[in-house]
Chain A
Amino acid sequence: MPLVDTHSVETAESAPTSRRALLASLIAAGATVAVAGRASAADEPAPTTTAPPLHSDADVATLNSLITREAAMVATYEDAKGNVSGDDLAVLELIEAHHKAYVQALSGYLGRKAGATTAPALMFTFNGGGYSNLAPQLAALESATAAAHIDALKTIQGLDAATLVASIITVEARHEAALLVSASGSVAGLASGF
């Protein structure tokens, strides 16, 4: 490579470099070094997997169906509450509040794409036996609702929606057990299925 001597005459007009510009160039040089360092670290092969999306518009219909189911559970507990009192009523009020929270959480997640947040009550029969009569029926509805959520997870693409639905499933399973055990005083009812 040929070496070339260059001579420049500095004048006030042509001098491109002020102290400020010099500092700026040093900072820029530092930044260049930092970028170069990162670039060399990035020589490793990048992972080829694609992370699941946090949100997917493809989930709207599925999540709206879950809102309808939860709204139906709210209406069901609203009806059932008229047949009990005292501590029994407190249990049904608590579980109803949970289902209301699920309606709100799911519709809040969908925002303007959320559908109806009310639905007719699901069927149950009241034969005058109070809580011990109602609780097993409500437990069966809880089981079916949890199953609906589990089934929905098969198609839910968005990770945020999936984690929300998962957090509902574990508690609806607890609803079922709490209703069964508190009504019968025994855990034997949990033995079915395995």
Chain B
Amino acid sequence: MKNSIVSRRALLVNGGTAAAAGVILAACGSPDPGLGRIGEAPVATALPEAHVSDDVLLRTAQSVETLAVEALTDPTITGAASADAKAAMEIFVRGHKSNLAALASVIEGRGAESVTEPNTKMMTNYVSKAVAAIKESDDASGDVLVFVNALEGIVGATYQAFVAWTNDPALRSAMMSLSVGPSKFSAATALLIRTGVKGVVPAVDDAGAELPAGLPDAFGPLTSFPVVVGKPNEDGARVTILMETPSLNSLEY
């Protein structure tokens, strides 16, 4: 063994070097289709790359404002609303249409294409579910107010959320000027649920559940807006919808 050409140390050195070289070569090489297989796998097509541009955010804001108009003029909602709520919702609709006109003007000025349809995902996940639940509700007029309170809150919060994604400071300012109306509408709706000055201040009911309030937070939240509506099931549970501002999969690219 004394004169052996390959020592244990040399074996380890050469073996390690060879292994490392093999790893590098394997990484540099192209995939080898040489392995035997049955059939042909379909070639994967990459999804088109989508950028969250300022135009995308403006178009999404359009779709959210249109969503609000559609929801507030839905026959189930208007049919179940009290006279006070209906009068308020007519004002809100005018406000959203005013915002839509402003958005269309900005989008046209930027050479982008307007969106005329309501936001599909929000319509499916929030509005349609709420309308269906309110239709079956034992307290439909009360549920309408709960829904409208959250709906207006989410429209206002949408603009607030978009500030973090918007590149142009002037556009951030313009968007926030449009958030004022829906934010006011949300606070006003809360005061239709809990009337008078007591409705301004946050409070909880006997069970400790948070009651709607005109001023629930010091800073505008970007968390979900819960909506509990509809007829209680056999366990006493009602439909709960967590409304959120548009995310990457609900933007209008």
Contacts and interface: CB of A to CB of B under 8 A. Distances in A.
B180 interface: yes
Chain A CB within 10 Å, residue with most, of B181, B184, B185, B198: B184
Given A26-B16, A178-B191, A163 B27 contact: no
A80 interface: no
A121 to B, nearest CB: 20
Contacts of B28: 36
Contacts of B214: 174, 177-178, 181-182
B95 interface: yes
Given A91-B201, A194-B98, A22 B7 contact: no
Nearest to A86: B197
A168 B218 CA distance: 8
A173 B180 contact: yes
B167 interface: yes
Contacts of A175: 215
A17 B217 CA distance: 65
A150 interface: yes
Interface residues of A, number: 61
A185 B195 contact: yes
Given A173-B183, A174-B186, A190-B188, A29 B215 contact: no
A173 B16 CA distance: 69
Nearest to A29: B20
Specify which of B159, B167, B187 lies most central, judged by the most chain A CB atoms within 10 Å of its CB: B187
B155 to A, nearest CB: 10
Interface string B97-114: 110000000000000000
A185 B28 CA distance: 74
Nearest to B168: A52
Contact of A94 (B13, B169, B173, B200): B200
Contacts of A25: 16-17, 20
B215 A153 contact: no
A94 B156 CA distance: 21
Given A156-B169, A181-B191, 5 more contacts: A22-B12, A166-B179, A167-B220, A178-B214, A181-B187
User: 5 closest A-B pairs (Cβ-Cβ)?
Assistant: A29-B20, A170-B220, A194-B98, A178-B214, A177-B184
Interface of B: 7, 9-10, 12-13, 16-17, 19-21, 23-24, 27-28, 84, 87-88, 91, 94-95, 97-98, 156-157, 159-160, 163-164, 167, 169-170, 172-173, 176-177, 179-181, 183-188, 191-192, 195-201, 214-215, 217-220, 222
9 contacts: A15-B9, A25-B16, A87-B196, A154-B170, A167-B160, A173-B181, A177-B187, A178-B215, A194-B94
